[in-house]
Chain A
């Protein structure tokens, strides 16, 4: 199993550009999520999905869109990049075993918006 595969690893955008961060998992997890990580702050949830065809907003959804057409894939779209979106982004998937919900993270995307 490859686990959670996230691409690209690094990206530089100009203000106003759009892009899609790809995330795929091969563990058949129903739950997938996107986080951003900024210095001095905890991980913040952007969007999440509890299964194919179902998505919902997290704590900081503005400026981002997601879709979940298959169990495996959960791409994150930046509609019109802004400098405030400069961050490290992590995709994660999870399963629950006896309530012990372990998150498996992708390797992260370091995004800079100029």
Chain B
């Protein structure tokens, strides 16, 4: 079957750096996405990786290794507003998105 694994919850300190990992086993691969979801709100798009390597967007970076079925989202200079769930999703060979359950990130002052 298809599977996306990410940690259920992580805690980090304001101003620090945190890395959220995502491993996947899917039938085919056509891109990996990261979304941010604040409590009670809709997910919003953060990043997209289809080739191996690091994509940087301001304080957020996303890395992909297709051979290892692995991605991570790196958040730098953490702010309290970064407290949210982070969803990893993979587009499979049928171009359908398979979603992880999300990682709840708690930022402490």
Contact = CB atoms under 8 A, between A and B. Distances in A.
Contacts of B99: 42-44
Interface in A64-110: 90, 99-108
Given A42-B87, A42-B102, A45-B97, 19 more contacts: A41-B101, A42-B4, A42-B89, A42-B100, A42-B101, A43-B43, A43-B89, A45-B96, A90-B42, A99-B50, A101-B48, A103-B33, A103-B35, A103-B43, A103-B97, A104-B45, A105-B42, A105-B43, A106-B42
B43 A40 contact: no
Interface string B9-51: 0000000000000000000000101010000111111001010
Interface residues of A, number: 19
A108 B31 CA distance: 25
Interface residues of B, number: 23
Interface in A4-31: none
Given A99-B31, A105-B44, A108-B41, A42 B98 contact: yes
A58 interface: yes
B42 to A, nearest CB: 4
B101 A107 contact: no
Interface of B: 4, 8, 31, 33, 35, 40-45, 48, 50, 87, 89, 91, 96-102
Contacts of B35: 103
Given A42-B87, A42-B101, A102 B43 contact: no
Contact of A100 (B41, B48, B98): B48
Contact of A108 (B33, B42, B91, B102): B42
A100 B33 CA distance: 9
